[in-house]
Amino acid sequence: MDMICPPTVRPVGHSEAPEDHLRDGRSPVVAMASGHGFTLRFRAGAVDHMPENVVADLIAHELAHVEQSAIGIEDQLNDEWNRIRDEGESDNPFEIDADDRMENWGFDPNSVDLYAWEQIFPRRS
């Protein structure tokens, strides 16, 4: 009999994932999907202070990564990511695809980054 593992949601501590998995080059990452979509992790200290609409957008983005796993496009996106990096590009196709999916669902793909830059990491003069 096959066992189906239920998804889990838990906070991410600063030491639970390598630094390169916690940053995407644009802003600090406050959430991540892993385990082929079976685990969603959120940096509770940051998420606790976000407005509800931004948290909803963050969850939608991570669920878009879950859908990527569920429909089996991870290999395709990984091949594209390797090609893009070899050509010197920095746009991550996993993130672009997730943003497109969440926007199609009616969520804002920019709200989390904007919130992070304005509220969590404001410019210092």
How do the domains of the chain map onto residue ranges?
Answer: 8-120
Sheet with 31-34, side-by-side order of all strands: 8-11, 39-42, 31-34
Ordered per-residue pLDDT tens for the chain, 125 residues: 333 434 444 444 333 443 344 444 444 668 888 888 888 988 887 888 899 999 999 999 999 999 998 998 877 888 888 888 788 777 888 889 999 999 999 999 999 888 877 876 665 54
The encoded tokens of residue 23 equal: 């940053």
* Residue 75: per-residue pLDDT: 79
Full-model pTM: 0.71
Task: Provide the pLDDT for residue 58.
Answer: 95
The pLDDT value given to residue 100: 95
